[in-house]
Amino acid sequence: MFDEPGYPGNSDLDDAELTLQTFVYCSRAAEGVDDTEVRRIVASAQRRNLARGITGMLVFDSGVFFQWIEGPPAQIQSLIASLHGDPRHHDVVALDRSEEKRERLYPNWQMEQIEAEDIREVLQDALVTTEDDNNIAALKRILECLASGPIDALGRS
Ligand SMILES: Cc1cc2nc3c(=O)[nH]c(=O)nc-3n(C[C@H](O)[C@H](O)[C@H](O)COP(=O)(O)O)c2cc1C
């Protein structure tokens, strides 16, 4: 489980030259999943992600999730399988999935919960600070998804 090269202490995320897999999706929360349950999901995700070299962000608004995860391909694949089987949400729609050598966008976020109205700002800030061409391309794809995709309604309840 921890045999990915470059993850010796599980907290060493200085992995500029490692292949990262990114998965971005949106989904609908199951009946009864409220802010309290989402806080639980995030707290547990932070612990699990730290141990697996996964970083990312989660938005929850109006019963809709939007999540960005990145990390070692094997760990991300395993998390994707878990996410698909998790009864706390359904209608998981993949928005972006890529695998490339690049720096992490959010190296210190084991799983940061972001307010829906802040998501564009967060992505645009990352676009300004990153110098990695692959990151720039990925961020532009996500911003395009936000403008035209199924999560366009986020934050406009
Ligand atoms: C919206 C949402 C986001 C989640 N994010 C993560 C995450 O970032 N990391 C994580 O380990 N589990 C996350 N989970 C929980 C996983 O779906 C799953 O319950 C957990 O990884 C345990 O999986 P396992 O029972 O297959 O071992 C999330 C669940 C939901 C509903």
Q: Are 36 and 83 contacting, i.e. CB atoms less than 8 angstroms apart?
A: no
48 CB within 6 A, ligand 1: yes
Sheet of strand 112-114, all strands in order from the earlier edge strand to the far edge? 89-101, 19-29, 64-71, 55-61, 112-114
Coil, strand or helix: which one is 72?
Answer: coil
pLDDT in tens, 20-73: 999 998 888 999 999 999 999 999 999 999 999 999 999 998 888 999 999 999
C-alpha–C-alpha distance, residues 137 and 144, integer Å: 11
pLDDT mean over 119-124: 82
Closest residue (by CA) to atom 5 of ligand 1? 45
Residue to mutate (ligand 1; options 76, 78, 82, 114; most atoms within 8 A of CB): 82
What mean pLDDT, rounded, does the chain reach? 83
Atom in ligand 1 nearest the alpha carbon of residue 86: 17
pTM strictly above 0.85: no
Domains and CATH numbers, the chain: 23-148 (3.30.70.100)
Using CB atoms within 10 Å of the CB of residue 24, give its burial: 0 to 12 exposed, 13 to 18 middle, 19+ buried.
buried
pLDDT in tens, 60-119: 988 889 999 999 999 999 999 999 999 999 988 888 899 998 888 889 999 999 988 888
79 CB within 6 A, ligand 1: yes
Give the pLDDT score at 151: 55
Give the pairing of strands 19-29 and 89-101.
antiparallel
88 CB within 6 A, ligand 1: yes
Coil, strand or helix: which one is 117?
Answer: helix
Give the pLDDT score at 11: 42
Q: Say which residue the tokens 């200085």 belong to.
A: 14
